[in-house]
Amino acid sequence: MRPIPTRARAFTAAAAVGVVAASGAVAVATSASAAAGCRVDYSVNQWSNGFTGNVTVANLGDAITGGWRLTWTWPGSQTITQAWSATVTQSGTAVTAVNPTWAASLPTNGTATFGFNANYSGTNTAPASFSLNGTVCTGSTGSPSSSPSTSTSPSTSTSPSTSPSPSTSPSPSTSNPPAGNKVDNPYAGARGYVNPEWKAKAESVTGGSRVSNNPTAVWIDRIAAIAGTSDSSSNGSMGVRAHLDAALAQGAGYIQFVIYNLPGRDCAALASNGELGPAELPRYKTEYVDPIAAIQADAKYASLRIINIVEIDSLPNLVTNVGSAAGATAACDTMKANGGYVQGIGYALQKLGALANTYNYVDAAHHGWIGWDSNFGPTADIMLQAAQASGNVKNVHGFITNTANYSALRETFFTIGTNVNGTSVRQSKWVDWNQYVDELSFAQGFRTKLVSIGFDAGIGMLIDTSRNGWGGSARPTAASTSTNVDTFVNESRIDRRIHAGNWCNQSGAGLGERPTAAPAAGIDAYVWVKPPGESDGSSTLIPNDEGKGFDRMCDPTYTGNARNGNSMSGALAGAPISGAWFAAQFSQLMANAYPAL
């Protein structure tokens, strides 16, 4: 959801309509006599009788603070059926798109991007012109009588032919903005890369072909994974370049990588410890980040939107698992003291953010981790520190929540404001005074907080929905009628875990919403970053050469610790090490999928 003042890149599945840039002065909401100008970029992803449209409007004149309105007229039979990131209405052939309530302002050189689905018959011709706040745009600050700028077809898209080398990217001390013609939402209007290795594993399980064509992320969880590995215990043998080549061969619009190898990685969970020691920040930079950036910078991949999910769980650990906190560990204290997480993430953001077609999303934990007031603000603050360490907060395109976790997207039968017989659900043992009860409300709330402390007003959120569906026979179908708040919440909640702190191979979990672009306000996409069927950690100790330890939270007999309220772990038995294929889990996820398969 980032309004970057750059041109949108068009991606097509079959045929496409060119980018339109057209004409005149903008009637600025705050001053009728203000200097004016605007540009509109329009592209589609089209099939036989329908299409997805993507629109980016750039305000070239004085700032608009009272709300914006974009209008156009269809030249044919186009009918909009659904829209996101704007309120879009249609009367006959006339269309009006109005800003969402959370993005009413449009600063000078700022952009707003929204999308829609539509039907058509015959020829799907692009609108001849667009008007912002009542006047026509020319692509400059010229008069309405100026000639419209030339339309650009997708084959001559403004995507760069070359990408800057990581060695020439700005140093962390520079204040230059990140390079590139980056779109607002890299998921919108683009088809995601389907990892052929995950696809093969999914289809090896009965019924897996029903979901095997969904895009999932590629985890680069050790240095060897950059070039590719030959062992069968991890995510597979393909390296970063091989996946990028495969994405080009598929005609994919975007590909997702998880950048996950910080020194002293995951200081609070043994199952996902990494290969680099707490003091090995130099190796992280030169042997891990630099080679990834060099590959992603290859001009061969300039047509791809490369999405980097940056360092799962790391920064929140420096808030909740240090000092005198109940979940504190010596390892987390060390990483907070030596600055390895903040500086490492800052370096990764700077090197990858400098590339023309990359998009960085930083991990932001989940509501059951930082949803309390005592954690919420401090976590946002440390994320700002890491972004500032990169040299520019605009190196962060957005944030992701619920990565590799199980928090329900929506709690259907109660909200944080629900009272039971005069008692707030916040007082229940399950909610435990948290300010949020589900992931969607948390992601939207955390986005607001991040913007308020200095992040770009257009940052977008991702939510990992790969395992938070909680369908099947255990899924509640109505709110409880109990007048006891604990009973009411336990009988009503979609999330069926024993405790919200349980995170390893959870029994009863199901696939969640399928990957979807722009599903809700402030949300760039629902994604499957954790590939369903890949283990969170082994149920028992399994020696390995990947640095992955045995965490008792993955042991189904474990009775818990302070971080999960001393509850049973809720983990499945028979699990392999983290990242390895776990067929029994995948079968369960399909059986309990919601929406159902």
> Which pLDDT score is estimated for 141?
66
- Is 333 one of the annotated active-site residues of the chain? no
527 sits in which H/E element: strand 523-527
- Is 184 one of the annotated active-site residues of the chain? no
> Which pLDDT score is estimated for 176?
38
Kindly state the average pLDDT of the residues 40-54: 82
CA 310 to chain centre: 10
Q: Are residues 538 and 578 in the same domain?
A: yes
Kindly report the average pLDDT of the chain as a whole number.
85
Q: Are residues 547 and 581 in the same domain?
A: yes
pLDDT of 270 strictly over 80: no
- Confidence bin at 325 (pLDDT 50/70/90): confident
pLDDT of 430 strictly over 90: yes
pLDDT of 12 strictly over 50: no
pLDDT of 116 strictly over 80: yes
Does 219 belong to an annotated binding site? Answer: yes
Summarize pLDDT for 555-565 with one digit per residue, the tens: 999 999 887 88
Active-site entry in 41, 62, 313, 495: 313
Q: In angstroms, rounded to a whole number, what is the distance separating the alpha carbons of residues 359 and 184?
A: 10
pLDDT of 96 strictly over 90: yes
Summarize pLDDT for 208-249 with one digit per residue, the tens: 999 999 999 999 999 999 998 755 444 447 999 999 999 999
- Is 438 one of the annotated active-site residues of the chain? no
Kindly state the average pLDDT of the residues 308-329: 90
**Is 21 a member of any domain?**
no
Percentage of the chain exceeding pLDDT 90: 67
Q: Are residues 207 and 142 in the same domain?
A: no
Range of the domain at 507: 167-591
Does 499 belong to an annotated binding site? Answer: no
Q: Between 150 and 344, where is the model more confident? A: 344
Does 397 belong to an annotated binding site? Answer: no
Active-site entry in 41, 438, 524, 536: 536
Q: Are the CB atoms for 553 and 313 separated by under 8 Å?
A: no
> Which pLDDT score is estimated for 71?
94
Q: In angstroms, rounded to a whole number, what is the distance separating the alpha carbons of residues 364 and 362?
A: 6
Outline where 260-408 has alpha helix (H): 281-283, 290-296, 314-320, 330-338, 340-353, 367-370, 373-389
Q: Are residues 177 and 118 in the same domain?
A: no
**Is 502 a member of any domain?**
yes
Beta strands in 120-191 (DSSP E): 131-132, 135-136
Q: Are residues 179 and 130 in the same domain?
A: no
Total number of domains in the chain = 2
> Which pLDDT score is estimated for 153?
31
From 131, 156, 181, the end of a domain falls on 156
Q: What is the CATH number of the domain that holds 534?
A: 3.20.20.40
> Which pLDDT score is estimated for 52?
81
Summarize pLDDT for 71-86 with one digit per residue, the tens: 999 999 999 988 877 8
